[in-house]
Structure 1
Amino acid sequence: MSEHFGGRSCAEPSPQWDHNVTMRMAAAKRLALARAPLYRGRMLESLYLICGDDEYLVSTKAQERVAELVPPADREFGLEIIDGAADTVDAALAALRRLKEAMQTASFFTAQRVIWFKDVSFLIDNVVGKSTAVKERVTEIAELIKAGLMPGQILLVTAPKVHKRYAFYKACKSAGKIEEFAVPEKAHTAEAGAKTRAQTLIKEAGLKMPAAAFETFMARAGVETRSIVNELQKLSLYLGDRREVKTEDVMAVVCASRSALAWDLADAVGDRKLAEAIGIARQLLFQKQSAVGLLIALENRVRDLMIHREALEKGWLRGRDTHYKWGNLPPEVNAAMSESMTRDPRATHPFRIGILGEQARHFTRADLRRCRGAVLEAHRTLVSSSLPAAVVLELLLVRMLARDPANPV
């Protein structure tokens, strides 16, 4: 039986006690709102997740967020950076322990504090991310986020990739703002986006780049924004006071990325330059480029050349010396190109159309059918035999590009 004081059970809270608790909770809420971060008069989020495989855009956006959240004078105590790049399970667990401690520690020296969990590498199904221990700790962080961050605290997370099925991603989506900068999976979509960004960056650099130079630049620099920025900086230094970029400037200065080298390999095949094609293939394999990926790139180029070769023979495509133009097509062909193909070949940049038209002249339609068969056979050999990838690829290039003395093109 419970004891009574003043006619009231000690198991029951008094009205005065209820009132005090309510007042304290209201005061805590007012304090949280008073300490909530503001920027130019507007309320900021308490959590930002910035992710994507375009490393430059992720990094740039993160720096912008830090600049708006933490004045330079407050960064000694108002910004804590925790490195989330972890190659091992132990490193990931250590980073998560530091993050949890930071999230549970109040800020005593500044009105608000930003915790930047930077370059987190284990929020996907990789070896470290699949670890049971890591998953449990990440779930703990997600629960802390759901419960609400401490007053005046802002969590900034940057990562190359985050699995959207994970509780962590869902917690971030509910509690704050997610900004994604992913390179599109479809090559033509990625290329279009990269070209738009490159044109903006070229203007910002004060450079002028004619169409031919621009297409050559994009073919070599690739679709990654960081590569585009770096190569434009090199070009600007190389040109000095001169501001117009020529194709020869691009060839002299801009390094070919792995994706650009794959394009160069396809161009060497299209130009029937066997020695150059073998050299590029060896370099790509040395750089750990996927042999299957290279075969797919070659198959795509053969398909493009087959389309352009047939168009040349039927008069749908006319021109010489890289200056080519599509003419009127029969209705059924026009419908097939517009509706059935993944990408209408007529929508390609005129510079590329010129290159493909000229390359198509190096092959007969029979040559191209033989090349396509050789690529498919090489793919079967690669996945079903123990032959080294380099041997399979070089034999393929010889079969594709060796000319038939009885029928020279």
Structure 2
Amino acid sequence: MATRKTPASAKNPNLHFVTGSDEAEVRIKAKGLVAELAPTDAGEFGLEIIEAPADTVDCSVDMVESTLQAVLTLPFFGGGKLVWMKGVTFLKDSVQGRSEAVQESLEKLLKVLEEGLPQGITLLISAPEPDKRKSFYKSLCSLATTTLCDKPDFGFNGTEEDLIDWVVRRCRERGVKIEPQAAVVLTTRVGANTGQLDAELAKLVTSAGASTTIPESLVRDLVPFTRAGGIFDLSDAINKRNLPLCLDTLAQLRRQGENTIGILLAAIVPTVRNLLLAKDLMERHRLKPPSQANYFTSELNRLRPEEIAHLPRKKDGGINSYSIGLAAMNSGLFDRDHLVSAFLACRDANQKLLSGQASDETLLTQLLVRIVAKNPSNSIVGQKSIPAR
């Protein structure tokens, strides 16, 4: 997350604009400015908040008009007053933002701002995810002390490590720590939505308590189970050779209506493949298991290009070193021959699913037992399938 302020030269010192693509950070920075700018001697009369859903053109116009009235109304008991135009949504590229009525109202507000605010009046405008092409946005940035809060780049070139590092930093800012695996589970379940991540972190911090460490178990209990999170949880359970967690996660995915072939190809096959690839590399090159997945990147970089040419790739063409690192962390739980057998079992299971030779639930259950159980030949006996509910 990038937070920066524009130069203060030629700016109205009583006009502040907090904006950017990171909605959570915009909200946090705006609240901090309110605490800093609101007159301490005016009590509740020193702060006037203009807030509206602004989900229609009329609501958006009313919000601008209310802000104008508040700015032009002097404090009742003298002194100063802070007007906070909170959470403006019609600066986005939306129906409300493109409305001529809204544009006319914004032009009226801009004219007042260009002429200068009345003495003792301070205006704070917070607006997440603005359309930076709009003339009002550009004019406001030139007039106000502007704080930009943009999301980190989790797009095409973003990596899992970037998102996990962001979560660890936010926990540090809140005065707590988070277990490495807890950060992985959290980012996998929520994704790159920093606003949702911040909301989940607030919930976790409240539950864990201040000046403590957020454990993985708490994240699994409190953060909602999603499709992407379920795929990761199943992969993680296979990596850790945790059969009960494998079967529980499979049951959850089936209850959510996930396709059996999809579970096999999205979670089971890639995990077994990565375990086999990591095991092979570590045995041939005598590599040690990393303490964290991202540490394995440096080990891979030391190898010749032809030694790692077969490894799975990300969308940008780079090696998916994080997933290989996760497998390398747990490679000691499996021997190479077992992983070869498990990979061939995945192939056979895929063929049986496509030909309809057996029940989907039974096939996946038996496959997971064969991959994860320490004594699969005995464990399969009497093993019940996971029904879809």
**What is residue 256 of structure 1 aligned with on the other side?**
223
Task: Letter of the 1:136 partner, please give it.
Answer: E
When residues 198 and 323 of structure 1 are mapped into structure 2, their CA distance, relative to the original with a 3 A threshold, is closer
**What is residue 3 of structure 1 aligned with on the other side?**
none
Confirm or deny: 8 A CA contact 1:83 1:118 kept in the other structure. Answer: yes
Confirm or deny: 8 A CA contact 1:50 1:180 kept in the other structure. Answer: yes
**What is residue 17 of structure 1 aligned with on the other side?**
none
* CA shift for structure 1 position 247: 4.1
Confirm or deny: 8 A CA contact 1:85 1:118 kept in the other structure. Answer: no
* CA shift for structure 1 position 56: 4.2
**What is residue 376 of structure 2 aligned with on the other side?**
none
Task: Letter of the 2:304 partner, please give it.
Answer: P
Task: Letter of the 2:329 partner, please give it.
Answer: G
**What is residue 194 of structure 1 aligned with on the other side?**
167
Confirm or deny: 8 A CA contact 2:93 2:131 kept in the other structure. Answer: yes
Match of 2:19 among 48, 51, 73: 51
- In 2, Cα distance between equivalents of 1:210 and 1:404: 31
Task: Letter of the 1:310 partner, please give it.
Answer: L
Confirm or deny: 8 A CA contact 1:216 1:247 kept in the other structure. Answer: yes
**What is residue 35 of structure 1 aligned with on the other side?**
none
Q: Is residue 2:97 matched to residue 1:129? A: yes
Deviates more, 1:45-54 or 1:154-163: 45-54
**What is residue 364 of structure 1 aligned with on the other side?**
343
**After superposition, where does 1:58-77 map in structure 2 within 5 Å?**
58-77=26-45
**What is residue 394 of structure 1 aligned with on the other side?**
none
Partner SS state of residue 150, structure 2: coil
Q: Is residue 2:303 matched to residue 1:329? A: yes
* CA shift for structure 1 position 336: 9.4
**What is residue 5 of structure 2 aligned with on the other side?**
none
- In 1, Cα distance between equivalents of 2:106 and 2:328: 50
- In 2, Cα distance between equivalents of 1:123 and 1:284: 39
Q: Is residue 2:215 matched to residue 1:236? A: no
**What is residue 266 of structure 1 aligned with on the other side?**
232
Confirm or deny: 8 A CA contact 1:47 1:156 kept in the other structure. Answer: yes
**What is residue 117 of structure 2 aligned with on the other side?**
149
When residues 86 and 329 of structure 1 are mapped into structure 2, their CA distance, relative to the original with a 3 A threshold, is same
- In 2, Cα distance between equivalents of 1:245 and 1:210: 6
Partner SS state of residue 90, structure 2: coil
Q: How many residues align structurally?
A: 322
* CA shift for structure 1 position 90: 1.8
Partner SS state of residue 45, structure 1: coil
- In 2, Cα distance between equivalents of 1:284 and 1:97: 49
Q: Is residue 2:59 matched to residue 1:91? A: yes
Identity over aligned residues, as a percent? 23
Partner SS state of residue 86, structure 1: coil
Match of 1:310 among 274, 277, 283: 277
* CA shift for structure 1 position 229: 2.4
CA RMSD of aligned residues (A): 4.9
- In 1, Cα distance between equivalents of 2:342 and 2:29: 48
Confirm or deny: 8 A CA contact 1:56 1:225 kept in the other structure. Answer: yes
- In 1, Cα distance between equivalents of 2:182 and 2:89: 37
Which protein, 1 or 2, shows the higher relative CO under an 8 Å CA cutoff with sep ≥ 6?
Answer: 2
Confirm or deny: 8 A CA contact 1:141 1:168 kept in the other structure. Answer: no
Deviation string, structure 1 residues 270-316 (Cα, Å, up to 9, x no partner): 6574773463476599xxxxx9xxx9xx8699767655543433446
Match of 2:140 among 147, 150, 172: 172
Confirm or deny: 8 A CA contact 1:139 1:167 kept in the other structure. Answer: no
- In 1, Cα distance between equivalents of 2:98 and 2:257: 30
Confirm or deny: 8 A CA contact 1:84 1:117 kept in the other structure. Answer: no
* CA shift for structure 1 position 47: 1.8
- In 1, Cα distance between equivalents of 2:320 and 2:27: 35
- In 2, Cα distance between equivalents of 1:66 and 1:323: 40
Deviation string, structure 1 residues 123-145 (Cα, Å, up to 9, x no partner): 11223323332233223323433
Confirm or deny: 8 A CA contact 2:272 2:343 kept in the other structure. Answer: no
Larger radius of gyration: 1
* CA shift for structure 1 position 354: 2.7
- In 2, Cα distance between equivalents of 1:284 and 1:364: 25
**After superposition, where does 1:345-384 map in structure 2 within 5 Å?**
345-346=320-321, 354=329, 361=339, 364=343, 367=346
Task: Letter of the 2:249 partner, please give it.
Answer: E
Task: Letter of the 1:115 partner, please give it.
Answer: V
Confirm or deny: 8 A CA contact 1:87 1:128 kept in the other structure. Answer: yes
- In 2, Cα distance between equivalents of 1:70 and 1:164: 28
Partner SS state of residue 159, structure 1: strand
* CA shift for structure 1 position 93: 1.7
- In 2, Cα distance between equivalents of 1:402 and 1:200: 43
- In 2, Cα distance between equivalents of 1:154 and 1:313: 65
When residues 103 and 93 of structure 1 are mapped into structure 2, their CA distance, relative to the original with a 3 A threshold, is same
Could you tell me which runs of 5 or more consecutive residues in structure 2 were left unpaired when the two chains were aligned. 1-10, 239-245, 354-359, 372-389
- In 2, Cα distance between equivalents of 1:399 and 1:133: 61
Could you tell me which runs of 5 or more consecutive residues in structure 1 were left unpaired when the two chains were aligned. 1-42, 286-290, 375-396
Match of 2:68 among 94, 100, 109: 100
